[in-house]
């Protein structure tokens, strides 16, 4: 199963539309939490919003999770060690108040298990890849460096 989530704050119809077009070729159920996005998506199993329990259940049972480039989603993928495909929201398309998700996507693009879909072709390729590597719970070098600095400050 593919689980798609756009978060609770803003709609993201571009991602849901793209999934609706891809779904017939994927031979896999696609469950999509769409928030306030508006549209007609017959190929998807649509949920408006989810309780934290339902969110966790869908997230952990999915083969792959596809989402906007939200920090919460990225941290959840690390915590539950899931392959995550992210589609950054773009300011120019009215999808967020600024382009911070592009910055986040560039930052996490090299992280194991976090796969950025910069366009619809990327999205198709990533979602049809059979063995997408999962995100890792292990702290990145940057995370370890932050911990080290805090330790040093606390202990002096």
Residues found near another protein in the complex (CB under 8 A) = 70-72, 74-75, 98-100, 103-104, 107-108, 111, 139-151, 153-155
Q: Cβ closer to another protein: 130 or 141?
A: 141
Q: How far is the CB of 54 from another protein (least distance, A)?
A: 15
Q: Cβ closer to another protein: 94 or 148?
A: 148
Q: Cβ closer to another protein: 119 or 137?
A: 137
52-61 vs 71-80: helix crossing angle, rounded to 10: 60
* Secondary structure, 3-state, the chain: CEEEECCCCCCCHHHHHHHHHHHHHHCCCEEEECCCCCCCCCCCEEECCCCHHHHHHHHHHCCEEEEECCHHHHHHHHHHCCCEEEECCCHHHCCCCCCHHHHHHHHHCCCCCEEECCCHHHHHHHHHCCCCCCCCCCCCHHHHHHHHHHHHHHHC
Q: Cβ closer to another protein: 125 or 143?
A: 143
Q: How far is the CB of 155 from another protein (least distance, A)?
A: 8
Q: Cβ closer to another protein: 125 or 149?
A: 149
Q: How far is the CB of 50 from another protein (least distance, A)?
A: 15
Q: How far is the CB of 151 from another protein (least distance, A)?
A: 5
Q: How far is the CB of 87 from another protein (least distance, A)?
A: 16
């Amino acid at each position: 199963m593919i689980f798609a989530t756009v978060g609770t704050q803003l709609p993201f119809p571009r991602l849901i539309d793209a999934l609706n077009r891809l779904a017939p070729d994927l031979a896999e159920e696609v469950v999509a939490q769409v928030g306030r996005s508006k549209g007609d998506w017959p190929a998807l199993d649509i949920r408006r919003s989810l309780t934290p329990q339902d969110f966790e259940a869908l997230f952990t049972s999915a083969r792959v999770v596809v989402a906007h480039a939200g920090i919460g989603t990225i941290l959840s993928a690390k915590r539950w060690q899931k392959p995550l495909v992210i589609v950054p929201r773009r300011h120019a398309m009215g999808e967020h108040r600024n382009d911070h998700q592009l910055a986040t996507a560039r930052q996490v693009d090299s992280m194991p298990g976090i796969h950025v879909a910069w366009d619809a072709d990327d999205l198709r390729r990533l979602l049809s890849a059979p063995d997408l590597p999962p995100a890792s719970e292990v702290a990145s070098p940057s995370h370890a460096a932050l911990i080290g600095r805090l330790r040093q400050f606390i202990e002096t």
